[in-house]
Structures are given as structure tokens and as C-alpha cells.
């Protein structure tokens, strides 16, 4: 199914309206044309009408089949292509007989154009417009039918107006869709913040007691290195919970001037032990770029920690982690973090930043969601590209000045 703002149900409803409108208008047109213009009874030329009826019934049969196959969005194209075939036959007939075989073309064209904003499909418009304009161009410049010049102008104007209306509809719907997504994401993040604060508080208290008990055991067994390792792990857990509470909760940001490389170095050093454990080689020349930006150091460090941690987890059997800082047009800094891990599947790539989405059983899928929110609060952007079995690249674009915020020197 083509990309559309309409659901399958709405597409079906629009297709039904389209069928009713086009067939009712065709019947009224046939009757009026026969009585008023030809001064005859409808179907007086039955031999000509029978071919029209057979053609229309065939198209209608295809439409019914598409409805049954849940492909109602193709109905409009079925009628459009059927119209193109009829008009192509008309052009060929005119070339040999200097007259057209079917004369309902104009009224059908107006129906097609009228439904452009209703179908909300640029593809439909881009199929319709070239054919209509091309048809009149052939009559004008090949057959010399100058009386059709106004028809060409009218159709071009109507197509242009339809395009403007369609474009405005799509922009409006896109904005509404974006706002709804933002509101939903903000609501979910608010829940995450409360959950992180509550759960973090409940976990930190037992950890403090556990650390105290372990320290007492260490004093009794000074030669046993196990207790020292236990204390270190408890402190690491405590630090991670603190980071989660500070980053996930909606605390006001404190913006100060910091050198990006320095913040990155701190994040890298925090993960140095894990890198050594996994035999991961980290290449990062912190002296190469000393760009200064206005940021909340603690939150930005949390972002770097999340991204680096994900990169390390993707390289369980070792690999290379490349970190680079570069300027972009003097106003922005780009932080690139590239790993040589197993990568992300294309189907999952668009969802990795969604709250609660994760492919890991022992995670709840909040890291990149929170990270993107922090980067967005800094008026920046977070982009992820990946290729399976080759690795993942995360680019964090940060402005050097956050004009919406009050900074502290």
C-alpha cells in the first residue's frame, strides 16, 4: 500500500464515494447530453452505448475485486488508467476519422481533479496531471484543435489549485501527526521520570546498607580481595542509578560553557574498564578539537555514556570504537561515535529511539529515548545509521550556543 495519511478504512470510504460520484454523474451526463444536445432519447445509439456499458462494468468488476482484496486505494488508479486507455483510443480514432469515439472526457477529468485533495495522494496527482496536459497538447499542436486551448488552461489551473490544497492538507496533517507523537512521547517520558525517581530511590537505600555491611566484612577479612571488588561494583551500581535518576527525571538544565572533548573524555574514562574487559580499542584524540559549547555537562555526559555503552554491548568479542569531534560551519559541533559491532537490522533502525523498545531481554529500552530528548533540549539532533555485521554510527549534532537558554560563564 502506498504511503498515506489515510487508514485502510478511510481509503475504502473514499473509494466508495468516488464510485458513487463518478457513476451518478456519468448517468446524468449521458441522459442530459442525449436529450438536450442531441435531441434524442437516452440509449438511442444503443450499439455505441453497449460498448460503453461493457467497458464500465468491466472496470466496476475490477473495483469490486480490489475491495474484496482489501486494496481499495487502487480503485482510483483503476479508473484513472481506464480513462487513459479510452482517451488514447480517442486520439487514435481522431487521427483517422477526425472525430472522437467517446465524448464524456471533460466531465470525468473534472471528477478526477476534484478528488485530488480528498485522496490525499501526491502520487495520484502526479499520474493524472501529465496525462491530462499531454492529451490537450497533442490535440493542440498535432491536430491543430485551437478551440481546446481554454480547456487546457482550465485543467492546468484546476490541477495547480488542487496541488496547492493537497499540499496544505498534507502539511497540516504532518504537523498534527508530529504534535501527537511529541505529546505521546512527552507523556511517556514523564511516566519514565517518575518511575526512575521512585525505583531509583528504593534501590539506592538497600545499596547503601549493603555497602556498609560489605565494608564491615572487609575490615574483618583484610586479606580477602573479594570484598574490595564487591564495594567497587556496588559503587558502580549506585553511580548508574544516580545517572538514571538525574538524566531521566525532568530537572531543569544548567547550561554552562564546556569543551565537548573534555566531557567525552570523562564518559570514555568511566567506561574504560569495560573496554579493557571486552578487548575494545578506543581511538579518540581529545586534543584534536577543543570546541566549546553551551550545555548541561551532567546530562550531556549521560548521553555520551548511553551511546558508548550501547556501542560496547554491540562488540562482545572485541572491536574498535572511534570517537570524533568536528566543527560544522562554525555554529555546530558534530560528535561521531562509531563501533564495529554487529549493527542494527533495517527494520529495527527506525524504532531504536522509541521509549520501551528494546531487543535485549534484560533492558527496558529507555537509554536512547532519554538521550534524544536531552539532545533535543540542547537544540541539537541525534542520528543513527547502521549496517548489519559492519557496525553502527551515531552522530550527535550540537549548537555551540543554546539561544533559548540562559548560560553561565
Q: Of 101, 117, 144, which marks where a domain is finished?
A: 144
Which one, of 286, 338, 334, 331, lies nearest residue 308 by Cα? 338
Are 136 and 13 part of one and the same domain? yes
pLDDT, position 19:
92
Task: Please check whether residues 262 and 388 belong to one and the same domain.
Answer: yes
Percent of the chain with pLDDT over 70: 78
Q: Is residue 69 part of a domain?
A: yes
Q: Is residue 219 part of a domain?
A: no
Q: Which domain holds residue 390?
A: 252-408
**Structural domains in the chain (count):** 2
End-of-domain residue from the set 84, 119, 144: 144
Residue of 294 and 183 predicted with greater confidence? 294
140 and 262: one domain? no
Let me know: does 151 contact 136? Beta carbons within 8 Å. yes
pLDDT (average), residues 83-100: 81
Q: pLDDT higher for 282 or 353?
A: 282
Distance separating alpha carbons of residues 25 and 38, to the nearest angstrom: 18
**Does residue 192 lie within any of the structural domains?**
no
Mean pLDDT of 164-193: 79
pTM tops 0.75 = no
**Mean local confidence (pLDDT), 360-380:** 73
Percent of the chain with pLDDT over 90: 14
The DSSP bridge partners found for residue 258 are 293
Q: Give the pLDDT of residue 407.
A: 43
Per-residue pLDDT at 283? 85
> For 386, what's the count of Cα atoms within 13 Å in the CB-facing half-sphere?
25
Q: 259 and 376 in one domain?
A: yes
Per-residue pLDDT, 376: 85
151 part of a folded domain: no
**Cβ(286)–Cβ(262) under 8 Å?**
yes
Helix (H, G, I), strand (E, B) or coil at 333: strand
The total number of residues written for the chain in this structure: 409
- What stretch of H or E contains 227? helix 226-248
Q: Is residue 215 part of a domain?
A: no
Residue among 212, 169, 195, 172 at smallest CA distance from 248:
195
- For 113-124, the pLDDT digits (tens) are 999 988 888 899
Average model confidence (pLDDT) across the chain: 80
Least confident of 155-159, 242-246, 393-397: 242-246
Inside any domain, residue 343 = yes
Q: Does a structural domain hold residue 378?
A: yes
Residue 359 lies in a domain: yes
Say which residues have a Cβ less than 8 Å from residue 334's Cβ, sequence separation at least 6.
Answer: 324, 325, 326, 327, 328, 395, 396, 397, 398
Check which CATH number belongs to the domain holding 300 and give it: 3.30.565.10
User: Is 390 a residue whose pLDDT tops 90?
Assistant: no
> What pLDDT is stored for residue 260 in this prediction?
87
- The residue from 144, 168, 189 where one domain ends is 144
* Cα 96 from Cα 90, distance rounded (Å): 10
pLDDT of residue 269: 87
Per-residue model confidence (pLDDT) at position 106: 74
Predicted confidence at residue 356, as pLDDT, reads: 61
* Helix or strand holding residue 386 (H, E): strand 381-387
Amino acid at each position: 500500500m502506498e504511503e498515506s495519511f489515510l487508514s485502510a478504512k478511510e481509503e475504502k470510504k473514499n473509494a466508495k464515494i468516488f464510485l458513487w460520484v463518478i457513476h451518478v454523474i456519468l448517468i446524468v451526463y449521458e441522459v442530459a447530453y442525449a436529450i438536450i444536445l442531441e435531441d434524442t432519447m437516452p440509449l438511442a445509439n444503443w450499439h455505441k452505448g453497449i460498448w460503453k456499458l461493457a467497458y464500465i462494468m468491466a472496470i466496476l468488476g475490477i473495483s469490486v475485486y480490489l475491495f474484496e482484496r482489501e486494496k481499495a486505494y487502487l480503485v482510483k488508479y483503476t479508473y484513472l488508467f481506464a480513462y487513459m486507455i479510452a482517451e488514447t483510443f480517442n486520439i487514435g480514432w481522431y487521427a483517422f476519422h477526425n472525430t472522437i469515439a467517446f465524448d464524456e472526457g471533460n466531465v470525468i477529468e473534472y471528477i478526477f481533479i476534484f478528488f485530488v485533495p480528498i485522496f490525499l495522494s501526491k502520487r495520484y496527482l502526479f499520474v493524472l496531471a501529465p496525462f491530462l496536459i499531454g492529451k490537450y497538447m497533442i490535440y493542440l499542436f498535432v491536430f491543430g484543435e485551437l478551440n481546446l486551448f481554454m480547456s487546457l488552461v482550465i485543467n492546468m489551473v484546476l490541477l495547480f489549485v488542487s496541488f496547492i490544497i493537497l499540499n496544505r492538507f498534507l502539511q497540516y496533517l504532518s504537523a498534527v501527526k508530529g504534535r501527537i507523537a511529541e505529546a505521546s512521547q512527552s507523556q511517556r517520558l514523564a511516566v519514565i521520570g517518575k518511575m526512575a525517581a521512585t525505583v531509583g530511590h528504593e534501590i539506592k537505600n538497600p545499596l547503601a546498607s549493603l555497602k556498609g555491611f560489605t565494608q564491615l566484612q572487609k575490615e574483618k577479612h583484610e586479606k580477602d580481595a573479594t570484598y574490595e571488588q564487591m564495594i567497587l561494583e556496588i559503587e558502580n551500581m549506585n553511580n548508574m542509578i544516580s545517572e538514571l535518576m538525574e538524566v531521566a527525571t525532568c530537572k531543569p538544565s544548567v547550561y554552562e560553557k564546556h569543551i565537548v572533548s573534555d566531557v567525552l573524555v570523562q564518559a570514555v574514562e568511566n567506561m574504560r574498564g569495560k573496554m579493557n574487559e571486552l578487548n575494545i580499542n578506543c581511538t579518540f584524540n581529545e586534543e584534536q578539537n577543543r570546541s566549546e559549547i553551551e550545555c548541561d555537562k551532567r546530562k550531556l555526559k549521560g548521553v555520551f555514556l548511553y551511546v558508548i555503552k550501547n556501542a560496547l554491548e554491540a562488540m562482545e568479542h572485541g572491536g574498535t570504537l572511534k570517537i570524533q569531534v568536528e566543527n560544522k560551519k562554525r555554529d555546530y559541533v558534530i560528535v561521531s561515535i562509531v563501533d564495529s559491532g554487529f549493527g542494527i537490522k533495517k527494520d529495527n533502525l527506525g524504532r531504536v529511539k522509541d521509549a520501551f523498545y528494546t531487543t535485549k531481554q534484560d533492558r527496558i529500552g529507555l537509554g536512547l529515548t532519554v538521550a534524544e530528548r536531552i539532545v533535543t533540549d540542547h537544540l541539537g539532533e541525534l542520528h543513527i545509521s547502521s549496517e548489519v555485521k559492519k557496525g553502527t554510527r551515531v552522530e550527535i549534532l550540537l549548537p555551540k550556543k543554546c539561544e533559548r537558554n540562559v548560560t553561565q560563564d
